[in-house]
């Protein structure tokens, strides 16, 4: 098992949140690594301050920084009426969409709706969200009067909150931010340690995440779609109202301005195989962004799959978030209804299976190889069958090979050729595991 970020001066498990940079006393700088991730690089002979190491959401227990999600959630949402071992603490669970936003959004448009309300209701004066940046994407500060359509859509591209952590202390006003689970954890850890962050961070939208992808993922998709290496404006979730919700397309603009579109089905399963995924994601137990005010994901459920425009699963965790959703329903601005909590967990079943059930096995593998492991909630650890362990081994080999394969070939055809045996073997062991299960 090759370690994607073995040279990382903060942690071998890194998703590039950038929390460490703010406390690094100029010993660290965010930059691309050889696997296409944004990670901290050491730029000074001085040692990295302990504070920076402790700011990492993947810090090892011995470092003593990261507190587990259960403890953080207890402090954040002490009055939440329900606590569920998979969902975490929450107010209510819903499914649906925002009629005004979903056409220009990734799934039900709930993230854009919520940010709109956060600004309109004066909960925050600024947003920190992900916007286009040439061939890629970047977190940016958005003022209250911005056109929020430009902030919509999911970006499977490495981004960092480094500027957020630097900006908040000097910000005039209050801010709302979107983030995947580990980024949200980094934000909450900072709020706990620094009162000015707690005062200024007004609202956190959690983007349910099945794993962060390297920049190579976008390079591969762009080349597969025919946009070549000098593509611009990648779009990951081009919807088709006449097809099923999961039958979306990728598009990117080639050098000559032509937009190339490709159904994602053409490249096969890019999520279950773990290709281009950050290693740290295999050590994250937070499937449903348990520390956000509101958690939003795709309603990957049979009853919603036929709706090509998409629906969102929604978990409200703070009273403020629940008020936003309830008011949206009452005022007719949301086509959203309460749902059973089990529908939320069912929509992310594959993620729970991989991320939680198989974690104990992956921790064992890491220890055998003498690698440190981040602090994880021991309550989620389980034993898995021999056949599922084989799936885990092959998935890791596939994930690991995807980086070397892309670096060598830099072409979709070459990549597909090298990865074929890995994918076939993964399919075989996955089938075997299903049969035995």
Residues in contact with ligand FAD by CB under 6 A are 101, 105-112, 115, 129-130, 151-156, 159, 178-180, 207-210, 212, 296-298, 300, 312, 348, 351
Supply the minimum distance, in Å, between the C-beta of residue 410 and ligand FAD: 23
Q: What token pair was written down for 109?
A: 């448009």
DSSP string across 395-409: HHHHHHHHHHHHHHH
174 and 124 in contact (C-beta within 8 Å)? yes
Q: DSSP 3-state helix, strand, coil percentages of the chain (rounded to 5)?
A: 40, 20, 40
Minimal distance, residue 8 CB to ligand FAD, in Å: 20
Nearer to ligand FAD among residue 27 and residue 92 (C-beta): 92
Q: Could you tell me the two tokens for 348?
A: 């992310």
> Whole-number minimum distance, CB 387 to ligand FAD, in Å?
24
- Tell me whether residue 55 or residue 344 sits nearer to ligand FAD (CB atom): 344
Q: Which two tokens stand for residue 35?
A: 């696997």
Tell me the closest approach of the beta carbon of residue 345 to ligand FAD, in angstroms: 12
Closest CB to ligand FAD among 89 and 155? Answer: 155
CB of 222 or CB of 296, closer to ligand FAD: 296
- Which single residue brings its beta carbon nearest to ligand FAD? 210
- Residue with Cβ nearer ligand FAD (48 or 222): 222
Give the Cα separation of 111 and 289 in Å (integer).
14
- Give me the least distance between CB of 165 and ligand FAD, in Å please: 15
Nearer to ligand FAD, 278 or 380 (CB): 278
The nearest distance, CB 108 to ligand FAD, in angstroms, is 5
We find the least distance from the C-beta atom of residue 215 to ligand FAD, in angstroms, to be 12
* The 3-state secondary structure of 290-358, one letter per residue: CCCCEEEEECCCHHHHCCCCCCEEEEECCHHHHHHHHHHHHCCCCEEEECCHHHHHHHCHHHHHHHHHC
Q: 202: which residues sit within 8 A by CB, 6+ positions away?
A: 118, 123, 124, 174, 175, 176
- Nearer Cβ to ligand FAD, position 53 or 176? 176
Beta carbons of 89 and 290 less than 8 angstroms apart: yes
Contact in structure between 251 and 221 (CB atoms under 8 Å): no
Ramachandran angles phi, psi of 315, nearest 5°: -120, 115
């Amino acid at each position: 098992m090759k370690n994607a970020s073995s040279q990382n001066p903060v942690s071998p498990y890194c998703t590039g949140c950038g929390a460490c940079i703010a406390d690094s006393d100029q010993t660290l700088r965010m930059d691309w690594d050889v696997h296409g991730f944004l990670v901290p690089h050491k730029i000074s002979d001085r040692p990295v301050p302990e504070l920076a190491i402790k700011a990492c959401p993947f810090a090892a227990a011995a470092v003593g920084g990261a507190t587990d999600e259960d403890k953080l959630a207890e402090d954040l949402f002490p009055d939440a009426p329900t606590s569920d071992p998979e969902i975490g603490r929450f107010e209510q669970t819903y499914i649906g969409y925002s009629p005004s936003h979903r056409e220009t959004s990734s799934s039900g448009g709930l993230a854009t709706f919520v940010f709109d309300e956060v600004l309109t209701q004066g909960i925050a004066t600024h947003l920190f969200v992900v916007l286009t940046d040439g061939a890629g994407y970047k977190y940016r500060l958005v003022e209250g009067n911005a056109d929020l359509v430009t902030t919509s859509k999911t970006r499977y591209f490495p981004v960092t909150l480094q500027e957020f952590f630097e900006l908040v202390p000097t910000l005039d006003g209050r801010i709302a931010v979107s983030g995947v689970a580990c980024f949200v954890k980094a934000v909450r850890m900072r709020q706990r340690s620094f009162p000015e962050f707690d005062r200024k961070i007004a609202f956190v939208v959690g983007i349910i995440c099945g794993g962060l992808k390297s920049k190579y993922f976008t390079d591969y998709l762009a080349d597969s779609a025919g946009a070549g290496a000098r593509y611009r404006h990648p779009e990951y979730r081009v919807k088709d109202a006449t097809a099923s919700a999961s039958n979306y397309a990728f598009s990117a603009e080639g050098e000559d301005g032509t937009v190339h579109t490709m159904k994602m089905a053409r490249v096969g399963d890019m999520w279950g195989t773990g290709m281009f995924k950050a290693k740290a994601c295999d050590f994250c137990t937070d499937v449903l962004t348990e520390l956000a005010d509101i958690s939003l994901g795709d309603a990957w459920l049979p009853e919603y799959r036929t709706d090509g425009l998409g629906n969102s699963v929604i978990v409200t965790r703070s009273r403020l978030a629940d008020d936003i959703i309830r008011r949206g329903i009452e005022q007719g601005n949301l086509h959203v209804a309460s749902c059973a909590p089990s529908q939320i967990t069912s929509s992310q079943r594959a993620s729970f299976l991989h991320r939680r059930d198989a974690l104990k096995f992956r921790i064992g593998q890491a220890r055998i190889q003498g690698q440190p492991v981040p602090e994880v909630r021991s309550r989620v650890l389980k034993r898995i069958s021999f056949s599922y362990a084989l799936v885990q081994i092959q998935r890791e080999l596939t994930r690991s090979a995807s980086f070397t394969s892309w670096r060598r070939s830099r072409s979709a055809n070459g990549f597909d050729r090298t990865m074929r045996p890995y994918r076939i073997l993964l399919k075989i062991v996955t089938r075997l595991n299903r049969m035995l299960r």
